[in-house]
Structure 1
Amino acid sequence: MDPAELSVELFWSPARGELREQRLSLPAGSTLREALVASQWFEPAGIETLTVGIWGRMVALDTPLRERDRIEVYRPLTVDPKEARRQRFQAAGSRIVTRHRPLGRKA
């Protein structure tokens, strides 16, 4: 690979159970925004509304990329995690957690 290029991976899950992966070769000094445009998965006008991260950490679109970065595009939450847990509890009718801390004697 030419030292003036960098290789990154782009991951996106547009729907539940679906995962898209794409390897990109970009010029050195490219930004996250440029990588998203190069993927051709997203309209350039809609990129500003995306929530994106590198290796699990949310970052700004003007963040410069490094060799072998993993770019992740996140979907918005459909349900609040606390509410989802309440719904699972009501459906199961019992506690979700199965391992409990043993009761100890008071000294």
Structure 2
Amino acid sequence: MSGKEIAVEVAFALPDRQKIISLHVPEGTTLFETAELSGICDYFPDIDLSASKMGIFGKTVAKPTEQVIKAGERVEIYRALIADPKEVRRKRAEKAKAAKTAE
């Protein structure tokens, strides 16, 4: 890591609240390190950073412990899905098809 610092953000959201933390980190800091440095776990103690998926501006990063963050980027910490979106869409389509057939 160099001595230069860059401005970044860390974001996490629950259905009823969200938090975006702006901070400066040393150039060369990884996404995971940025999330740790942000103190986001102080606001959301249930977050397990080592098990959470992370991304930058909605795009998942495969290896947040290796991916270096760039100035102006926002680390997003994703929570586990309650339901599989594909399964929800499939059930909705089946229900709509059944309703149309019943008419």
TM-score (norm 1): 0.69
Aligned mates of 2:83, 2:12 — CA distance in 1: 19
Cα pair distance change 1:94/1:71, threshold 3 Å: farther
**Which residue in the other structure is 2:58 paired with?**
56
TM (norm. structure 2) is 0.71
Query: In terms of Rg, which structure is larger?
Result: 1
Moved over 4 A (4+): none
Q: Residue 81 of structure 1 aligns with which residue?
A: 85
Count of matched residue pairs:
89
Structure 1, unpaired ranges of 5+: 96-107
Residue identity matched to 1:21: I
Percent of counterpart pairs with the same letter? 28
Matched, 1:19 2:23: no
| Contact residue 11 and residue 76 of structure 2 kept, 8 A | yes
Tell me the SS of whatever aligns to 1:72: strand
Provide structure 2 residue ranges, at least 5 long, that are not aligned to the other structure: none
What letter is aligned with 1:34? Answer: E
Question: Whose helix fraction is larger, Structure 1's or Structure 2's?
Answer: 2
